[in-house]
Amino acid sequence: MAQTPVTATITGAGGQIGYALLFRIAAGDLLGPDREVRLRLLEIPQGLRSAEGAALELQDGAFPLLRGVEVTDDAAIGFDGCDIALLVGSRPRGPGMERADLLAANAGIFGPQGAAIQEHAAPDVRVVVVGNPANTNALIARAAAPELPDDRFTALTRLDHNRAVGQLAAALDVGAGAIRDVAIWGNHSASQFPDVAHATVDGRPAMQALAERFGGAENAAGWLDDEFVPRVAKRGAEIIEVRGSSSVASAANATIDHVRDWMLGRPADAGWTSAAVVSHGEYGVPEGLVSSFPVTSDGSGYRTVEGLDVDARARARIAASVAELVGEREAVAGLL
Ligand code: NAD
Ligand code: LMR
């Protein structure tokens, strides 16, 4: 029997990331080649024309899996019965700004949207927040939907994860597919900790491969501290500087990776990935914070990889990023 189409709501669908997302979802990249999808494009009034234009182009794509497109500026309609909510709509940062500078501009968006999701979405809805500062916006949305379980709310750190894999692959001159078990910890910000301590390259410890590449373990550690970690953590700013505006196609790609792995599960040999999920105290991260962890997925939900050996240096880095998340939570306490 044919499966019912999945309803995916994209906020900010008239914006840059929205435009990059819509056509890939319609082409089947989100849920595979057998699953039909209905798209809901939720915008603010100023963004409606752009979203309507995208809807016209979606129709012109004659995508076999696309069962309909609706454009609205009403959250009750936008989230009605939705199975997947991609919360993209919000202001991006410009040159010289940190993502946390967007808290004042964007935080007010996510409480009402969380409440509307609780009221109108499908009971098993899954939500990913892309709009920055993503972790704390997800915390706000989650707080506004107390009747939904914690595990329905996530924020995107898959872009950071993919960036870390890309940097490692380039340094070791291998394809990205050779790399497993990189982890992003903490906030989607410059304080994040991209961690390769457990990573492997073609089945070999990445630390061993890096030591060979850089002429010893000490040099490899120096490259990680001085180049790899800051490059990954500040890649968003690098893209803004080079492109003139924040990442779009890579952000849409990571959003699709995040939702696909969450809904369909990761292939058995793919190892873990990274996502910002609601903490239940794992690795000392205070309960309730939306923090990035290494996670696995069998399709029923993201699960934090527990029991990893995390050395004192890594713990200190994770703690610094988590302290930033605590500060952001304090800054939006009035919205929680
Ligand atoms: P954009 O300005 O091109 O588009 C944003 C869209 O959101 C606009 O069309 C705007 O009308 C709409 N919008 C604003 N408020 C809204 C609301 N309340 N409801 C629905 N729509 C609303 O920006 P963009 O480049 O698409 O980036 C969107 C967000 O994603 C930014 O906050 C950016 O910083 C963030 N981002 C996050 C990541 C990540 O890895 N987490 C990566 C890249 C960008
Ligand atoms: C990114 O990481 O590219 C986005 O979060 C955009 C930004 O402001 O850095």
pLDDT, one tens digit per residue, over 229-276 is: 999 999 999 999 999 999 999 999 999 999 999 999 998 889 999 999
CA distance 93 to 133: 10
- Helix, strand, or coil here: 55? helix
**Does residue 197 sit in the same domain as residue 312?**
yes
| Centroid of ligand 2 to alpha carbon of 123 (angstroms) | 31
Q: Which residue CA neighbors atom 3 of ligand 2 most closely?
A: 236
User: Does the residue 1 lie in any domain?
Assistant: no
CA distance 276 to 278: 7
**Does residue 33 sit in the same domain as residue 97?**
yes
Ligand 1 atom closest to Cα of residue 254:
40
Q: Tell me which of 192 and 96 has the higher pLDDT.
A: 192
| Centroid of ligand 2 to alpha carbon of 247 (angstroms) | 6
CA distance 13 to 22: 8
User: Does the residue 29 lie in any domain?
Assistant: yes
Contacts 24+ apart (CB under 8 A), 61-64: 61/23, 61/26, 61/27, 63/26, 63/27, 63/28
pLDDT, one tens digit per residue, over 280-324 is: 999 999 999 999 999 999 999 999 999 999 999 999 999 999 999
Ligand nearest 130 Cα, by number?
Answer: 1
CA distance 106 to 138: 11
CA distance 250 to 143: 29
Burial 146-158 (b: 16+ CB within 10 A, else e): eebeeebbbbbbb
CA distance 286 to 186: 11
Asked whether 253 lines ligand 2 (CB < 6 A), one says no
Task: Among 131, 155, 179, identify where a domain stops.
Answer: 155
Q: What is the pTM of this model?
A: 0.98
Strands 37-42 and 126-129: unpaired
User: Does the residue 210 lie in any domain?
Assistant: yes
Give the domain extent around 10: 6-155
For range 146-164, the mean pLDDT: 98
Q: Which residue CA neighbors atom 30 of ligand 1 most closely?
A: 131
User: Does the residue 243 lie in any domain?
Assistant: yes
Helical packing angle, 158-172 and 249-264, nearest 10°: 110
Catalytic residue among 120, 161, 188, 258: 188
